[in-house]
């Protein structure tokens, strides 16, 4: 039987499942026999509810001693946190288990959650973005997120490798989004197995930004700043580094290495292949340099670039290609 992973969980179940509403109409012995035949036929997901009279007890009797071999979901119609806890305790008793894989709230006006005020959920508003297609990749999505944060004047925008694995995302194409020390959210490519579960057969990219954190990261209202009086100088650099070094880490090192002339830094190429050692990559950036005090000379621009390259090598082992 074909199996699927259930959402963001690590639970794996057959695509065919057993809804336990009908077994409340037959005897316990008949129900146990029917449930076991379903299991022997390949079903391992059983969905019941506290409101299905004695269905939970019949499921518990059918699978006593083999809890680790099945996935159980049940529901509550409780409208208060206290009622939810009471139903949960009764479900655990009837199902003869000390845990339930998926616990569903049947159309409540709230979602009880331990730790929330009065047992209620803390439901954060999230700005979600999704995209796919030929022109979409990790860096295009990253640029869109950077544009949002730039528009709200967030400071110190950077991206870090998640400290904990996120099973919803491709492990090599995901990043946490920060403004200073404040974690704003996550972006990356949805894990191919997760996408497959939802019938998506191509690379799909998503960003989830906490709306409350976005508001906190919002900078001061803009003030008028005169247009630059002096021209900018553009320089391109390409550095070779270990494959594990992230673009975000390289950009941070570039900014730390600059001595006051760097105004913008933008990624424009990543190359792996002929001429680059195995386990290494070439990453190219465009640097925009400008002084507010006068036109910078070629020597000043060269010195700024050399300071940046020195920081890249000392911090990350990245050397000029």
How far are the Cα atoms of 60, 67, 82, 118, 189 from residue 105, in angstroms, in the given order? 20, 22, 13, 17, 30
Q: pLDDT by residue (tens digit) across 187-209?
A: 999 999 888 888 888 899 999 99
Which residues pair with residue 288 across a beta bridge?
Answer: 234, 264
Instruction: Please give the angle made by the CA atoms of 179, 180 and 183, to the nearest 5 degrees.
Output: 55
In this prediction the pTM is 0.47
230-285: pLDDT as tens digits: 999 999 999 999 998 888 889 989 999 998 899 999 888 999 999 899 999 999 99
pLDDT at 1: 65
CA pair distance 275, 56, nearest whole angstrom: 64
The pLDDT assigned to 15 comes to 82
- Angle at CA 131, nearest 5°, toward 130 and 132? 145
Q: Find out whether 38 and 31 touch, Cβ atoms under 8 Å.
A: no
Instruction: State the chain's mean pLDDT as an integer.
Output: 87
Q: Any idea which residue has 């299905």 for tokens?
A: 52
What is the CB neighbour count within 10 angstroms for residue 17?
Answer: 15
Check residue 175 and give its pLDDT. Answer: 93
The three-state secondary structure class of 4 is strand
Q: Is the Cβ–Cβ distance between 241 and 174 less than 8 Å?
A: no
Token digits of residue 68:
């680790």
Could you give all domains of the chain from N- to C-terminal order, each with its CATH number? 3-119 (3.20.20.100), 126-217 (3.30.930.10), 233-320 (3.30.70.380)
Residue with tokens 């690379």: 203
8 Å CB contact between 221 and 211: no
pLDDT at 210 over 60: yes
Q: How many whole angstroms separate alpha carbon 276 and alpha carbon 51?
A: 64
Cβ–Cβ under 8 Å, residues 290 and 228: yes
pLDDT in tens, 82-98: 788 888 899 999 999 88
Taking residues 102-129, report their average pLDDT.
68
Q: How far apart are CA 73 and CA 9, in angstroms?
A: 13
Strand ordering across the sheet containing 204-210: 126-132, 204-210, 182-190, 169-179, 157-160
pLDDT of residue 236: 93
Q: Crossing angle, helix 55-62 and helix 81-95, to 10 degrees?
A: 40
Buried b / exposed e along 52-76 (16+ C-beta atoms within 10 A):
beebbbbbbbbbeeeeeebbbbbbb
Q: How many helices (H) and strands (E) does the chain have?
A: 8, 15
């Amino acid at each position: 039987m074909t199996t699927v992973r259930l959402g963001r969980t690590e639970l794996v179940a057959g695509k065919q499942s057993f809804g336990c509403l009908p077994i409340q109409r037959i005897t316990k012995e008949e129900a146990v026999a029917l449930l076991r035949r379903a299991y022997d036929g390949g079903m391992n997901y059983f969905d019941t509810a506290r409101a299905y009279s004695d269905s939970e007890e019949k499921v518990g009797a059918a699978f006593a001693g083999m809890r680790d071999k099945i996935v159980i979901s049940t529901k509550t119609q409780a409208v208060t946190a206290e009622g939810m806890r009471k139903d949960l305790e009764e479900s655990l008793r009837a199902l003869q288990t000390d845990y339930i894989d998926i616990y569903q709230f049947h159309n409540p006006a709230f979602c009880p959650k331990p730790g929330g005020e009065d047992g209620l959920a803390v439901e954060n508003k999230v700005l979600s973005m999704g995209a796919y297609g030929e022109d979409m990749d990790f860096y295009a999505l990253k640029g869109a997120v950077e544009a949002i944060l730039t528009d709200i004047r967030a400071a110190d925008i950077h991206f870090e490798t998640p400290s904990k694995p996120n099973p919803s995302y491709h492990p090599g194409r995901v990043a946490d989004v920060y403004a200073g020390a404040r974690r704003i959210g996550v972006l990356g490519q949805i894990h191919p197995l997760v996408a497959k579960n939802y019938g998506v057969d191509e690379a799909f990219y998503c960003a989830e930004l906490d709306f409350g954190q976005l508001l906190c990261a919002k900078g001061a209202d803009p003030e008028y700043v005169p247009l630059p009086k002096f021209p900018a100088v553009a320089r391109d650099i390409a550095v070779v580094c270990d494959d594990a070094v992230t673009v975000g880490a390289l950009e941070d090192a570039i900014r730390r290495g600059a001595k006051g002339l760097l105004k913008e830094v933008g990624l424009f190429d990543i190359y792996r292949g002929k001429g680059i050692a195995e386990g290494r990559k070439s990453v190219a950036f465009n640097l925009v340099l400008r002084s507010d005090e006068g036109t910078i000379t070629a020597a000043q621009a060269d010195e700024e670039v050399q300071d940046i390259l020195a920081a890249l090598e000392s911090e990350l082992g990245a050397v000029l290609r």
